Structures are given as C-alpha cells and as structure tokens.
Amino acid sequence: MTYHRPFLLSIMLFLCAFLLSGCTDRSITGNTDIRMGDLKITIGQLSHEGLVYAYLWDGSLENLRIDVPDVTDHNEKITELGGFANIGIPAWFGISLKPFDDGFEPWTGPYGKPIPEGTKEWEEAENARIEYMKQNPLYGRIVTYEGDSEALYDAPISFEQLIFTIRLGRYINSVKISAGIDGNEYIGIKQDNGNIIFYKPAIIFECDEHNKTFYSEDGVLYSTKTHEKLEFQIEYPE
C-alpha cells in the first residue's frame, strides 16, 4: 500500500499535537496505578515519576495525617500531589472515604472467573462482603448533607472542621487539590448518641526541608520562587 507524503505528514503532525496537548511527558498508552498504604499513585510510563491522586481516609480522627513519600517502593520519585495524568487528563489530589469493603478478597469461580450474578454462590459471596463491611465502625453511620436545616434530618446536627495535615516530600513540585471529601463539601457521621456531626475538611502543610519548590510556615504553603501564599479548593483552617 502506498501512502502520499501529505497524508503521512498530517499523521505526524496530529501525533505531535496529541502528545503536546497533555503538557506532560507521560505516555498516551496510560499510566500504571499503584497503592502505597492509603495513597493512590499513578506512575508515568515515560517519566517514571509518581503523581499522588487520592488519600483513602478511614473515617477516624486519628488518621488525619497524610505523609507523601519521596519515592515509591521501586524508587520512582514522587513529584506531584495532583496534576495531569496520561495525556493531560486532570487528576487533582482528593480525599476519599475508604470503601467499607477495602481489603475484602472477592470470591471467584472456577479458573478465577467472576461468579455469575444472581446465583446461590454469588449471594453467598455478597453476604460475606456485607458482613465484612459491617465490621467497619462507620458502617451505616455516614449521613449525606442535604442542607443546614435540622428539620432535614432525624437527629440534632452540628458542624466541625476536620483538619488534615499534608507533609510534602522533597521531590514534590506541583500541588493541585480538589475540594471536599469525595467531592462533597461535608461528610456527616452519626455519633454514638445519635447526633450527627457534619465535618468540613481543611488542610495545613508541612514540607520537607530539602524541597526546592515549596516551603511551609504555620501550616500555610508558599512558593519558594515567589514567596506567594498558595490557595487550594480545600481551604486552610479558619
């Protein structure tokens, strides 16, 4: 088959534009997603550098600290807390509630194939998953925020800030953070007394002393180059 030069040139120009449009050196074939503890990270296929795009919060007030490591277990530098993945797809860092079935080993059928839905085996597997989720102390306690009026709920409500501490590793050179938890401004948790507390997340920063791009003072993140205070969709504490 013969290709004309103008046709080949058009293809080459399109591919160049496609690659450049992402403003990144990551491969168009997609990145490799990994998990380190409760951090979800995507590794660039060409850059071999990590972008942290999620923290899985277990809902406890004891786990409000997010430590971003310098490197992955395979010694790949972690350079971004939120940014652009693949060919420029926004992947802002966000805080998510850890799924209640996190860590549950799914049941499978012969040769590792999924169990057909609706079968007796599937029902047994689903019941096992539900029993696993019920072990989580927050199971059945998450309340969706509907508004500020107490009349919208079946119990008294109150509001509190939930302050997360983010420590940036030495190689982080880009920080982009989305709002809320799972994109929601508030997360409601029913307490032992039946009352509901709606938590609104806020962030403070610590920064590795060897980081060349950022520094922190009193929990606020600044640009080393401009000394500008950096703002994000999640706010600093009031």
Task: Summarize pLDDT for 83-121 with one digit per residue, the tens.
Answer: 988 777 889 999 999 999 999 998 998 888 999 999 999
Task: Summarize pLDDT for 47-62 with one digit per residue, the tens.
Answer: 889 999 999 999 999 9
Q: What is the pLDDT of residue 238?
A: 86
Q: What is the pLDDT of residue 16?
A: 42
Low-confidence residues of the chain, pLDDT below 70?
A: 1-30
List of residues 6+ apart from 200 with CB closer than 8 A: 159, 160, 161, 162, 185, 186
Residue among 37, 41, 78 at smallest CA distance from 58: 37
Residue among 79, 17, 11, 10 at smallest CA distance from 43: 79
Give the predicted TM-score (pTM) of the model: 0.83
Q: Which residue has the tokens 């938590």?
A: 199
Q: What is the pLDDT of residue 112?
A: 87
Domain ranges of the chain: 5-100+138-223, 103-135
Q: What is the pLDDT of residue 37?
A: 96
